[in-house]
Amino acid sequence: MAGSARLELVDGVAHLDPAAAMLEAMLQGWARQQRSRFLNEEGTIKPREAMVRRLVDFTNEYPWQWRPADGEAFISHLRSPNRERPIVMSTGRGYETTLALFMNFITDRRYGWAAECLERFGQVPQQIFHEDNRVAHVAEYEGQPDRRPLTYDEVQALFDAADGRAEEAKARGRKGALTAMRDSVLLKTIYAYGTRRNEARMLDLSDLRRAPKRPQYGKYGGLYVRYGKASKGSPPKRRTVLTVKEFDWIVDLLDHWVTEVRPAFSPGKLPALFVTERSSRMSLRGVNKAFAMARDAAGLPAELDLHCLRHSYITHLVEFDYPEKFVSMQAGHDYASTTAIYTGVSDEYRNRVVQRALRDRHPDLWETE
């Protein structure tokens, strides 16, 4: 089997440090097993390997020496209030799941690692995370409460700040004027289409889509998202996000960006929609930085992050009375329950819904008033 001890261990080789060699063989075997399942190398396999190494460094012991108390001490250390950034519940669950998966792998008799450990070190690995010491998943949503949709006024303040940076740089003849203009259009595009940060940075010019039913939008009738969030072991999901009338102000902005501003970056044959001064595609860090600078300039709470624009887009589509299924398709959600998690409608909207329901149920009373 892919990842088995027989494939990774070489007979007749005497290692200077047998324990360290066994650990490396285990990790190589686990990586091989995950590759056979088509899991992503950079996004899944390497972070999982790094997590195992973190526990090795923390305990100063090897996996066949670990006990449940070691895993518990590791998680307790990471969530200690004395740390600068204690992990949150969802992060802790992810760490526990990763380590439990690794222990399942090396304790599975089909792979032969337990037998090798017994023969070479006189110890057998055991599962360190079980039902009684893992984070219980009892709530549907465990995200940080600070992450929320922006109000309409906050969205406007954010965009005003982004435009202000561009205007100030342009007026002073500063080098960063083009970059500031790009960042402004980028943030507005993310909000107008509800894209994730990687979805936005991976957009190409060819992903601009015409909408036959809305010829007035030209080639900006929608975006073809090719790098949507992937399920484990699956390629990135794809979807087309249509331009809706409430956000069609983005059409002129994108056209100005594509036809006038972007060429000033001298991108050459680079297909990326959003480019850098070095004629390269924007990085995830660059996308985050664009939001952070506008947020701070607008005086918005520091805990708000770029993903809040996606929350805002979904929430505002709901408040514009678009059908639930349409909103889920625009967002790229398989389940309406996921879309509901992103939605945080205002009190004003809820009052309008109640008022509409009362009007439909008691039309005579409303006519009298």
Amino acid 291: pLDDT: 96
- Cβ neighbours of residue 154 closer than 8 Å, sequence gap 6 or more: 298, 300
Q: Which of 278, 106, 91 is CA-nearest to residue 179?
A: 278
CA dihedral 165, 168, 173, 179 (to 10 degrees): 10
Residue 289 CB coordination number (10 Å) = 14
> What pLDDT, in 10s, does the model give residues 89-129?
888 999 999 999 999 999 999 999 999 999 999 999 999 99
274 plus 219 within the same structural domain: yes
> Same structural domain for residues 161 and 296?
yes
Do both 14 and 113 map to the same domain?
yes
Domain check: are 38 and 176 in the same one? no
Task: Return d(Cα 80, Cα 267) in angstroms, integer.
Answer: 47
> Does residue 231 sit in the same domain as residue 96?
no
Say yes or no: 208 and 78 in one domain. no
Confidence label for 146 from pLDDT (cuts 50, 70 and 90): low
Residues in CB range of 193: below 8 A, 6 or more apart: 223, 241, 243, 247, 250, 313, 330
Phi-psi region of 299 (alpha: psi -120 to 50; beta: other; left: phi over 0): left
Mean pLDDT of 231-249: 89
Residue 93 in contact with residue 146, Cβ under 8 Å?
Answer: no
Q: How far is CA 336 from the centre of its chain?
A: 18
How many whole angstroms separate alpha carbon 274 and alpha carbon 268? 13
Mean confidence (pLDDT) of the chain: 88
Domain identity same for 247 and 292: yes
Q: Residue 84 — very low, low, confident or very high, per pLDDT cuts 50/70/90?
A: confident
Q: How far apart are alpha carbons 56 and 20 in whole angstroms?
A: 10
Indicate which CATH number applies to the domain containing 34.
1.10.150
Q: Is the pLDDT of residue 288 over 80?
A: yes
Domain match, 31 and 163 both:
no
Give the range of the structural domain holding residue 105, as residue numbers without chain letter: 5-121
321 within domain boundaries = no
What pLDDT band is residue 369 in, cutting at 50, 70 and 90?
Answer: very low
**Residue 36: pLDDT over 60:** yes
Q: Do 180 and 296 belong together in one domain?
A: yes
User: Is residue 353 a part of any domain in this protein?
Assistant: no
Reduced DSSP (H G I as helix, E B as strand, rest coil) percent helix, strand, coil of the chain, to 5: 60, 5, 35
Neighbours of 32 (CB within 10 A): 16
pLDDT in tens, 247-281: 999 999 999 999 999 999 999 999 999 999 999 99
How is residue 107 written in tokens?
Answer: 């304790």
Can you give the pLDDT at residue 4? 86
* Both tokens assigned to 62: 């090897």
Sign of the CA dihedral 301, 302, 308, 309? positive
pLDDT value at residue 106: 96
pLDDT score of 356? 64
Mean pLDDT for the stretch of residues 276-288: 94
DSSP string, 46-80: HHHHHHHHHHHHHHTS-GGG--HHHHHHHHHHHT-
Q: For the residues 17-33, what does the mean pLDDT come to?
A: 94
- Greater model confidence, 247 or 342: 247
Separation CA 111–CA 28 (nearest Å): 13
Q: Is the pLDDT of residue 138 over 50?
A: no
Q: What percentage of the chain reaches a pLDDT higher than 90?
A: 68
pTM of the entire structure?
A: 0.73
* 285 & 170 share domain: yes
DSSP secondary structure code for residue 219 in this structure: G
Q: Per the structure, how many domains does the chain have?
A: 2
| Residue 137, domain member (yes or no) | no
Asked if residues 238 and 245 have their Cβ atoms less than 8 Å apart, the reply is no
Q: List, in order, residues 6 or more apart from 84 with CB less than 8 Å away.
A: none
CB 238 within 8 A of CB 140: no
276 vs 43 pLDDT, higher one: 276
Res. 222 pLDDT band, cuts 50 70 90? very high
The confidence band for 50, taking pLDDT boundaries of 50, 70 and 90, is very high
Question: CA 111, CA 199: separation in Å to the nearest integer?
Answer: 38
